[in-house]
Amino acid sequence: MKGRFHSFESFGTVDGPGIRYVAFFQGCYMRCKFCHNPDTWEVNAGILKSVDEILLDYKRNEVFYTKGGLTATGGEPLLQLPFLVELFTKAKEKGINTCLDTSGGISITDVNKELFEKLAKVCDLIMLDLKHSDMKGYSQLTSSDQTFPLNFLAFMNKREVEIQIRHVLVPGITLDDEQLINLGKLIAPFKMVRSLDVLPYHTMGIAKYKSLGIPYTLEGVREASKEEALLARDLILDTIQKERALKQPK
């Protein structure tokens, strides 16, 4: 079996703990308006590689990954679920820490449930982007339905996989106190959500849209600042803490 990839990074420092080998899977149907990697969308493009080839690449620099590991990102790695499960299974056999960066936007069905069960057993950390605090906003920001990532979150939470929520702060869309509080309330019941990363929206991807001839729908939206991201993170964390305290037995 071969997977389809956009690219690989040998010294990733922002996609999971420590220094990591990062595999950017090719293909994504989500069409998030803030996506800065539209070149990963096309499902039939990219480089073909086998699990063994990737693990051989990993081995070349493994001395650097002692506190890190392997991250699958994209694009959407879950679109290549059988390959992803094989990759993480073999990685775990070699003692490699595995991290999945995903939108969770794939439906868990009777047909693929067994693969999701296997994935839960070989994934050390899931970094999940819920995109928005509510269903309507989610559908406006993406081409999909928030039911899928919420089901995915519940599924992985139940199987006790550690989860980090990633949230992109877009001025005029997700940079809004009420929404941030609602996001905190949405996340709070999931005990396996152990960390939160709030990322300021940036416009560095615009040139890619132009070169691919894809219309950029956030034209004119300003970038968010690091300070705004820190404040937003505090507000979400504060809400989670309050919600969880309310649910504690007295």
Q: Which residues bind ligand SF4 (CB under 6 A)?
A: 28, 30-32, 35, 37, 40, 74-76, 103
- Supply the minimum distance, in Å, between the C-beta of residue 102 and ligand SF4: 8
Return the axis-axis angle of helices 147-158 and 113-122, rounded to nearest 10°.
50
Pairing of strands 98-102, 47-50: unpaired
Q: For ligand SF4, which is the closer residue by CB, 35 or 232? A: 35
Q: For ligand SF4, which is the closer residue by CB, 27 or 69? A: 27
- Supply the minimum distance, in Å, between the C-beta of residue 31 and ligand SF4: 5
The SS3 call for residue 16 is: coil
* Residue 80 near residue 4 (C-beta atoms within 8 A): yes
Q: Which residues pair with 199 in a beta bridge?
A: 168
- Supply the minimum distance, in Å, between the C-beta of residue 242 and ligand SF4: 29
Q: DSSP code of 66?
A: T
* Distance (Å, whole) CA 125 – CA 122: 9
Q: For ligand SF4, which is the closer residue by CB, 64 or 216? A: 216
- Residue in the block written with tokens 């600042």: 225
Q: For ligand SF4, which is the closer residue by CB, 42 or 176? A: 42
Q: How many residues does the chain have?
A: 250
* Distance (Å, whole) CA 45 – CA 62: 28
- Supply the minimum distance, in Å, between the C-beta of residue 43 and ligand SF4: 11
Dihedral sign computed on CA atoms, order 8, 13, 16, 18: positive
* Residue 106 near residue 152 (C-beta atoms within 8 A): yes
- Supply the minimum distance, in Å, between the C-beta of residue 32 and ligand SF4: 3
Q: For ligand SF4, which is the closer residue by CB, 90 or 208? A: 208
Q: For ligand SF4, which is the closer residue by CB, 72 or 96? A: 72
CA distance readout (Å), 52 to 2, 75, 88: 10, 21, 11
- Supply the minimum distance, in Å, between the C-beta of residue 27 and ligand SF4: 9
